[in-house]
Amino acid sequence: MLAYIWAEDLHHQIGFQGHLPWYLPADLAHFKRVTQGYPMIMGRKTFASLPGILPGRPHYVLTSSSEYDQKYATDSRVKIFHTTKQLVAFNQSDNQLKFIIGGASLFAAFADQVDLLYVTKIAAAFKGDVKMPSLPWSEFDLIWAKKGRQDQQNKYPHQFKLYSRRTSKLSLTTLEKYANS
């Protein structure tokens, strides 16, 4: 089972020069709370943008670089994949929830397979060079939304939202569990 988690601005920007275009601690805390204990799937650039290996979450990295095979060969926290086909087969090997956290090409590649969408909508515009690809929004229902608190640290108005694909086989109890993550 796949979920996406990302934050975007008013123009669907999700990245700028290999990093988030904004600083929003509430979103970072939300990301940690939601993904804690679940595997995260990402591309090489997203992996490189992290401050290091995030604790409590296996990292699955899609890259064509063989350098990562050697670098992480003995690190059980990181698994390297070289093709989308390998990732698809791996995802289908169990029913565990896995989060795709970026980049844009992975979001585009799995748009027809994702069950849950966790999005932080930031009501501001930023300079960016990576946009969230379009998703089949008509196939999803809003399950949960919560307005984020604006304060000295969280300067931008924002809202956390969870969507579920209508054809998903997730029960209401399961959806409530994910909504309260």
Q: What are the per-10-residue average pLDDT scores of the chain (181 residues)?
A: 96 96 98 96 95 96 92 94 90 88 96 96 98 96 95 98 87 62 59
Residue 93 pLDDT? 82
How far apart, in whole angstroms, are the C-alpha atoms of residue 89 and residue 128? 33
Overall number of domains in the chain: 1
CATH number at residue 67: 3.40.430.10
How is residue 16 annotated by DSSP? B
Instruction: Report pLDDT for 16.
Output: 97
Extract the tokens encoding 159.
């809202």
DSSP assignment letter at 95: -
Contact present, 146 and 12 (Cβ < 8 Å): no
C-beta separation of 147 from 156 below 8 A: no
Burial 3-39 (b: 16+ CB within 10 A, else e): bbbbbbbeeebbbeeeebbbebebbeebbeebbeebb
Range of the domain at 145: 2-179
